[in-house]
Amino acid sequence: MKKKLITTFTLIIAMGLFGGVCNIALSKNQSLNKIAQTAVKTQSKAQPAKKPQSAQNPVTQAPINTTSLAIVANPEKFLNKTVKMQATFDKFSTLGLDYSKALRKSSDYIGILIQRDDVIDHNIPLSEMKLFLTKTMAEKHIDLDTGDKIEITAKEFSTALNDPWLDVTDLKVLVKAKKDENNK
């Protein structure tokens, strides 16, 4: 019994000494890390880091010519890219505004809907594509009518809900729709 007590006591002392040695080594390692971090901070203050060449001279990429249905079919492919497409204007809309995962505030933006390219005998909006114009841009195009042929340049900023969400950067009216005399 006396041997067991001595062995246990010796083991506890040995573990204590081992723990103390490890603690000293860790504290020295932490001190070295602090010294290294201070040296890095001092060096970065003395010599500011150079920006990569691409950040100094950003190259504007030409928009990708595509169709609205191609973007809807594969929204991930166009994420953070600028696209150009021709479409048929349907209407101004609030669809998608103030959605938290792809936020465009209704106080700053208005949405537009375009017609589906694959349906020609009816006016069916392509509601899967969320297109947003700033209110100042929308005011310049307030005279858009359903059926106007337009060219849209936009940058896709989100694929929330697996739909493309785009900020319109340029909108051109290519052909005004003929007004139906019977609807006047």
**CA dist., res. 97 & res. 62, Å (int):** 28
Decide which of 144 and 59 is more confident.
Answer: 144
| Window from 16-20, 99-103, 151-155 with minimum mean pLDDT | 16-20
| Farthest-apart Cα atoms in the chain, separation | 113
**CA dist., res. 160 & res. 17, Å (int):** 57
| Window from 14-23, 111-120, 126-135, 136-145 with minimum mean pLDDT | 14-23
Cα–Cα nearest to 130, from 155, 150, 152, 112: 112
C-alpha distance across the termini of the chain, in Å: 110
64-179 has which fold? OB fold (Dihydrolipoamide Acetyltransferase, E2P) (2.40.50)
pLDDT tens digits for 82-103? Answer: 999 999 999 999 999 999 999 9
Q: CA–CA distance from 93 to each of 14, 79, 100, 126 (Å)?
A: 76, 22, 17, 12
- Going from N- to C-terminal start, the domains of the chain cover 2-53, 64-179
Average pLDDT over residues 109-118: 96
Cα–Cα nearest to 84, from 164, 150, 161, 157: 150
Tell me which H or E stretch contains 90. Answer: strand 82-93
pLDDT for residue 39: 44
pLDDT at 110 over 80: yes
> Do 132 and 99 touch, CB atoms closer than 8 A?
no
The total of other beta-carbon atoms located within 10 Å of residue 69's CB is 15
Residue 122 DSSP label? S
Cα–Cα nearest to 157, from 147, 142, 167: 167
**CA dist., res. 13 & res. 28, Å (int):** 23
